[in-house]
Amino acid sequence: MTTSINYQQLKSPHLIIIGGGFAGIELVKQLSGKPIKVTLIDKNNYHTFQPLLYQVASGGLGPDAIAYPLRKLIGRIPNIAFRMAKVEEIQLENQLVRTDIGDFSYDYLCIASGSATNFFGNKELQENSMELKSIPQALDLRSKILQEFEKAVSGTESGKLERILNFVVVGGGPTGVETAGALAEIRKHVLPSDYTELDKTLMQVHLVEASERVLAAMSENSSQKAKEFLEQLGVKVHLKTAVQSYDGQLLKLSDGRTMETNTLIWAAGVKGEVPAGIEASNLGRGNRILVNGFNQINGYENAFAVGDVAFMSADEKYPNGHPMVAPVAVQQASLFAKNLQRKLAGQDLVAFRYFDKGSMATVGRHKAVLESFGIKMQGYLAWLGWMFLHLMLLVGYRNRLVVFVNWLWNYLSYQRAIRLITRPYTGKQSKGK
Ligand SMILES: Cc1cc2nc3c(=O)[nH]c(=O)nc-3n(C[C@H](O)[C@H](O)[C@H](O)COP(=O)(O)OP(=O)(O)OC[C@H]3O[C@@H](n4cnc5c(N)ncnc54)[C@H](O)[C@@H]3O)c2cc1C
């Protein structure tokens, strides 16, 4: 690293990165110490490790275990500065980013603003269901689950106990499967120890999935196994079933059935989180920004989008865009960092090709399904693999240690240690982002 490089003194080229998620922090790592002035902007002052949000929501981990302060990451990197700000508008023509703390002009722009929960335009669902996309939302959900138990014990809410103790997760992807598994573990281990007055069989966990299998991105065998694991834990899996409406108490399903529940967790889709200013003609499927094979926004040489927010159809194996997962974000960010330096050196850009290392999901306390490089694992070994990989992917040694110690404690004690209610009961999510 050259000591003469200094953010204040560097004038150009100036790169603005919007978003300190998986893509944003990879960019920070790759561009550290390079002769490029970099400003990282995020509305939060921390990076969120979203794959473990469900463990915060289910009391297995505290929020600090999966969040990492962005200033700690940037620390003394001489060419990079962090600004905590919400991007309100991007003006590509004027090379300007407008935020709630002022305007920033740039030579190069990389939009890495990730994704938001997709309710597919259903306002009633959005209003009444719980999301799992951010730390405030995970904490809200943790409180809500425990508040429902308190209500069930004290009988303060008139109405059926069934509605209070019915928990419905919608979406059979990894998030839905893992959340449903965690809820089933709570029923098995937390209810009998903390809520001895309650009959634990009254608590029901439902997983509703519109397609014909859970974990549709994995092989049929892994999907089937994950369903079996869930059912062994007592989760009721409803396949080929879509949600029609939910008013906060009554859930109507596509096959005509109804269910009463106070808690519906929506894990059925995400869409690009696109700051204002990007023209509709530059947006593709899932509200993602259309980019070419080099992650360049169509029509703009110096503006790029990477990760969840980017829609690239140029990678021939993924004509419908890449999956919205962390490895895509990391790989696109890594290539963009190299391509930016190639561009500055007058060299040709290299096209992006996604290298898929596989996928996995955990179900409950010690089971998982894992597929990687043609290897398919299910059960205990897959769970060990899942744990190891997540520990390695977490940012920072402290977070790894904290997560490891918590997992060990939870495993040995059969408990979810962080059973704290930290918000007043509103019945609904505060929609904190
Ligand atoms: C519950 C859950 C579980 C998941 N599990 C897995 C998994 O097991 N494996 C996997 O590979 N992937 C998983 N994913 C997906 C993975 O987290 C995403 O693919 C990944 O985070 C995308 O990285 P990114 O950098 O594009 O966006 P993100 O990591 O979402 O980062 C976007 C950043 O932009 C910031 N931002 C957004 N808008 C603005 C704005 N207007 N102004 C300022 N800042 C802004 C946000 O604060 C955030 O820090 C999961 C996602 C969720 C929600």
Q: Is the pTM of this model over 0.75?
A: yes
Distance between Cα 134 and ligand 1 center (Å) = 9
pLDDT reported for residue 431: 57
* Domain-terminating residue out of 218, 244, 268: 268
* Residue 203 and residue 258 in one domain: yes
337: CATH: 3.50.50.60
161 and 226 fall within a common domain: yes
Active site (annotated) includes residue 178:
yes
* 26, 131, 148, 178: the active-site residue: 178
Average pLDDT, the chain: 94
Same domain, 239 and 321: no
Backbone Cα Rg of the chain: 22
Which domain, by its residues, includes 334?
14-43+85-117+271-344
Same-domain pairing of 105 and 159: no
Residue 66 in any domain: the answer is no
Residue 422 has pLDDT above 70, yes or no: yes
Q: Which of 59-63, 135-139, 414-418 has the lowest mean pLDDT?
A: 414-418
> CA-CA distance, 238 to 171, in Å (whole number)?
10
Ligand 1 centroid–CA 348 distance in Å is 30
Domain count for the chain: 2
Q: Check if the beta carbon of residue 292 is closer than 8 Å to that of residue 312.
A: yes
In this predicted structure, what is the pLDDT of residue 433? 46
Mean pLDDT of 234-256: 97
Q: Which band of pLDDT confidence, cut at 50, 70 and 90, is reported for residue 4?
A: low
**Which pLDDT band, with edges at 50, 70 and 90, does 427 fall under?**
low
Q: pLDDT digits over 213-224, tens only?
A: 999 999 999 999
Whether residues 108 and 228 share a domain: the answer is no
pLDDT at 46 over 90: yes
Confidence of residue 430 (pLDDT cuts 50, 70, 90): low
Query: Does residue 56 line the site of ligand 1, with CB under 6 A?
Result: no
Residue 262 lies in a domain: yes
Pocket test for ligand 1, best of 17, 18, 22 (most atoms within 8 A of CB): 22
Q: Are residues 317 and 244 located together in one domain of the fold?
A: no
Q: How far is the CA of 50 from the centre of ligand 1 (A)?
A: 6
Could you tell me if residue 161 is inside a domain? Answer: yes
327 pLDDT tier (thresholds 50, 70, 90) = very high
Domain final residue, candidates 253, 268, 283: 268
Q: Is the CB of 178 inside a 6 Å radius of any atom of ligand 1?
A: no
pLDDT tier, 411 (very low <50, low <70, confident <90, very high otherwise): confident
Looking at ligand 1, which atom is closest to the CA of residue 24?
25
Instruction: Examine the fold and report which residue of 246, 268, 290 is the final residue of a domain before the chain moves on.
Output: 268
Provide mean pLDDT across the span 131-160. 91
pLDDT at 346: 97
Question: Residues 340-376: pLDDT tens digits?
Answer: 999 999 999 999 999 999 999 999 888 999 999 889 9
Ranking 22-36, 97-111, 174-188, 361-375 by mean pLDDT, the lowest is 361-375
Residue 146 amino acid letter: L
Q: Within the chain, how many helices (H) and strands (E) appear?
A: 13, 25
One domain for residues 165 and 216? yes
Judgement on whether residues 94 and 205 belong to the same structural domain of the protein? no
194 with 222, same domain? yes
Percent of the chain with pLDDT over 90: 88
**pLDDT of the residue at 159:** 67
In this predicted structure, the answer to whether residue 3 has a pLDDT above a threshold of 70 is no
Q: Dump the DSSP string for 162-226.
A: HHHTEEEEE--SHHHHHHHHHHHHIIIIIHHHH-TTS-GGG-EEEEE-SSSSSSTTS-HHHHHHH
Q: What is the β-pairing status of strands 204-208 and 166-170?
A: parallel
CATH number of 147's domain? 3.50.50.100
